[in-house]
Amino acid sequence: MARYLTKSRFKLALECPTKLFYTGKKEYINTKLEDDFLMALAEGGFQVGELAKLYYPGGINIDQIDHDEALRVTEDLLAGENVVIFEGAFKYRNLFVRADVVIKKGNSLQLIEVKSKTYDPTSDKFIGARGGITSEWRSYIFDVAYQKYVLANAHPEFKVTAYLCLADKTQKATIDGLNQMFLLYRDGERTKVRIKENSGIHTIGNKILIEVNVDEIANRIINNEFLPDENSQTFEEVVQFYSDSYEKDKKITPVVLGKCRSCEFKAVQEDMIKGYKSGFHECWQNSSSFKEEDFNKPLILDIWDFRKKDELIRSGKYFMEDVTKTDLEGKSGKKQQQMAGLSRVDRQFLQVEKAKNGDSSHYIDIDGLRSEMANWKYPLHFIDFETTAVAIPFNSGRRPYEQIAFQFSHHTVHENGTIEHSNEWINMKEGIFPNFQFVRELKKALADDQGSVFRYANHENSVLNTIYIQLQESSEPDKQVLCEWIKTITKSKTDSTEKWEGARNMIDLLEIVKKYYYHPLTNGSNSLKYVLPAILNASNYLKEKYSKPIYGTEIKSHNYKNQSWITFDSNRLVVNPYKLLPPINFGYDNELLDTIVIDEDAGIADGGAAMIAYARMQFTEMSDEERERISKALLRYCELDTLAMVMLWEAWNNWCS
């Protein structure tokens, strides 16, 4: 079978050329989600693609999977004077692409690459201030440039013009249920979209996708003004190098850098015991003097928020034991000024020093925590939101990728020490814009007292800021009451024209962690899903309390009964409670799905499992029983998020007492 360099493999090579050798090989671990169906639910690409087709009536879809058959059908269609082709196949040498939309008019071809990414025509720029392609758009522009290169060489008799078709952030849907016109389903191993009967250009309302001409930038790439990598090869030479290497199954010499930390071909010990190979290990052994035992040493890849990893790696420093505080501070040696607690560099050096010394104990600033906690007012409220952002809006008046808040959980700690899961709310109905009812229910949960409200990270503040704007633009009868209440527990965004900071502005526990607490078991991560098991291992108080099945009996819970949260692995370490939860999406690990980011603009991460589950309830056909099962799993998942925050507070309170 021919090994073509497709557009997806070209994009992979832009990330790291060596990955071309590992991709598609079952012997190499691949931690990246490759399930097209779930990725379609997460990103909305299939649905956006089908919506785009409705904007080009009369288009002909190339359904043939076989490369040669698809090429033949495409060639036959191009013989016509005017034609619109979806998924047309084009081949040049050992390069092969399936183009989303190609419009042929006479001797011209419009190449349109459809992406489920937002674009604001009033502000988004492809070229940055320094004259290069911005990092946000680089992969998209190179993708369409590669396709233009293949089409232009496969058919030199045509003039090819390149476009990106994107979700227009400035446009609003003008009909309800637009999203529900496109339901996802599996057809064997393929993901397909079932379009609502009688849907067409006359039924979809205002156009929410925009075609952006990127031909000039694509030409500049092809003409070597913007090179795919740092070497001096031309675009054509780089493309041919990638394609020849892939065709011959030859590994391209790796260049190790800081980005290797997130490599999907990185196996852990458990994977290797099962017989998987690790592309990450092979790369680092091939490109340096690494020995197998060196992987047991803490690498600089894991230093938290360290932005000079590439610089140190190029100088031959790979391990934390080689890192000095000067390396962390930079050449200027300037320290970050901070009112209290650890600075960024202090925290980084704390991590490095503990790794150097084999120190597995935690760091806690008791005085700093006491000072913070003295300002907290009972009852304490801990809240967590589950949200999504869909490319195609549910309702009239909504824009692509507007924030949707579909669930919250709320724990309360009373001054006498009583803990309870006080409230929760979830929207299960299809095609409903839930945000305004979400705020009403949240207000009902929090408005009865003036106790401190806690979040973990900035997400909840951002969501409420967004809903504030949505309410201001709405005709909801209680919008002013809701907006005024939102302002009491939030702080305005830095780019907001209206400025405020509420009297009960939510306290960010993540910032408290960064300043006053560190545990080596987090491996440099400050995600709650890593901090929770670390603090459970550090706190004898929590281990003793939650080893008993008291959660859901002595401690009020909406979703658990007689639950014990403490179990130990073979190393006598507390197992992460999140691993005790069953998958929200049957057959798929929650931790893997939580790595998905739906849209960079929405800033949503660390919640992919919940987002995909909600998307399944919205965009697929399912029974009431399955909908109920997913809803219960979501409620359990979100409840653990706020319980984790409570446990964090309990450990600190115990130590500070």
Per residue in 379-425, pLDDT tens? 999 999 999 888 888 889 999 999 999 999 999 999 999 999 999 99
- Pairing mode of beta strands 209-213, 159-168: antiparallel
| C-beta of residue 237 within 8 angstroms of C-beta of residue 244 | no
pLDDT of residue 481: 98
- Spatial distance between the Cα atoms of 6 and 22, rounded to a whole number of angstroms: 15
Domain residue ranges in the chain:
33-236, 365-438+520-657
Containing 165, the helix (H) or strand (E) segment is strand 159-168
| C-beta of residue 604 within 8 angstroms of C-beta of residue 594 | no
Residue with tokens 């503990």: 354
- Spatial distance between the Cα atoms of 402 and 435, rounded to a whole number of angstroms: 10
pLDDT of residue 35: 57
The arithmetic mean of pLDDT across residues 344-368, rounded, is: 95
- Pairing mode of beta strands 95-105, 517-518: unpaired
**Nearest residue to 562 via CA among 554, 570, 574:** 554
- Spatial distance between the Cα atoms of 591 and 597, rounded to a whole number of angstroms: 13
Tokens (6 digits) for 597: 């980011």
Let me know if 81 is exposed, middle or buried by CB neighbors in 10 A (0-12, 13-18, 19+). Answer: exposed
Does pTM top 0.75 for this prediction? yes
For 91-137, give the DSSP string: EETTEEEEEEEEEEETTEEEEEEEEEEEE-TTT--SB-TTSSBPTTT
649: Cβ contacts below 8 Å, ≥ 6 apart: 380, 382, 413, 454, 509
Q: What are phi and psi of 132, to 5 degrees?
A: -100, 170
- Pairing mode of beta strands 453-455, 380-389: parallel
Per-residue pLDDT at 139 exceeds 90: yes
Per-residue pLDDT at 434 exceeds 70: yes
The arithmetic mean of pLDDT across residues 280-284, rounded, is: 94
Tell me the average pLDDT of the chain. Answer: 90
- Spatial distance between the Cα atoms of 645 and 14, rounded to a whole number of angstroms: 39
| C-beta of residue 104 within 8 angstroms of C-beta of residue 79 | no
- Spatial distance between the Cα atoms of 132 and 128, rounded to a whole number of angstroms: 6
pLDDT per position as a tens digit, 503-516:
999 999 999 999 99
203-217, 284-298, 339-353, 643-657: least confident range: 284-298
Per-residue pLDDT at 291 exceeds 90: no
pLDDT of residue 598: 39
**Nearest residue to 320 via CA among 342, 351, 345:** 351
- Spatial distance between the Cα atoms of 212 and 486, rounded to a whole number of angstroms: 37
First to last CA, the chain: 68
Q: What are phi and psi of 447, to 5 degrees?
A: -85, -5
Buried-exposed string 1-27: b where 16+ CB fall within 10 A, e elsewhere: eebbbbbebbebbbebbbbbbbbeeee
pLDDT of residue 332: 55
pLDDT of residue 345: 95
621: Cβ contacts below 8 Å, ≥ 6 apart: 183, 185
253-262, 544-553, 603-612: least confident range: 603-612
